[in-house]
Amino acid sequence: MRLERSYALIAPFYDGLLGALTRDARARSLAALAAAPPLEVLVNGVGTGLDLPHLPQQHRYTGLDLTPAMLARALPRAAALDFAAVRGDAQRLPFADARFDAVVLHLILAVVPDPLACLRESARVTRRGGTLLVYDKFLRPGERTLWKRAMNPLARRLATRLDVIFEELLAATPGLEVVSDAPLRSSGWFRLIRLRRG
pLDDT at 32: 95
For 140, which DSSP code?
Answer: P
Domains of the chain and any CATH numbers: 3-197 (3.40.50.150)
Distance CA 28, CA 23 (A): 9
Is the torsion defined by CA of 49, 102, 3, 150 positive or negative?
Answer: negative
In this predicted structure, what is the pLDDT of residue 96?
Answer: 98
pLDDT tens per residue, range 130-154: 999 999 999 888 766 654 455 444 4
pLDDT value for 20: 75
CB 79 within 8 A of CB 55: no
Task: Tell me the CA distances in angstroms from 79 to 55, 138, 149, 153, one per residue in order.
Answer: 12, 32, 40, 38
pLDDT of residue 13: 57
Name the region of 107 (left: φ>0; alpha: ψ -120 to 50; beta: rest): left
Residue 83 and residue 124: Cα distance in Å, rounded? 21
CA distance 143 to 138: 10
In which residue ranges of the chain is pLDDT below 50? Answer: 1, 11, 147-148, 151-158
The pLDDT of residue 163 is 87
With CA atoms as reference, report the closest residue to 115 among 125, 105, 124, 103: 105
pLDDT for the residue 19 = 61
Q: How many whole angstroms separate alpha carbon 109 and alpha carbon 157? A: 15
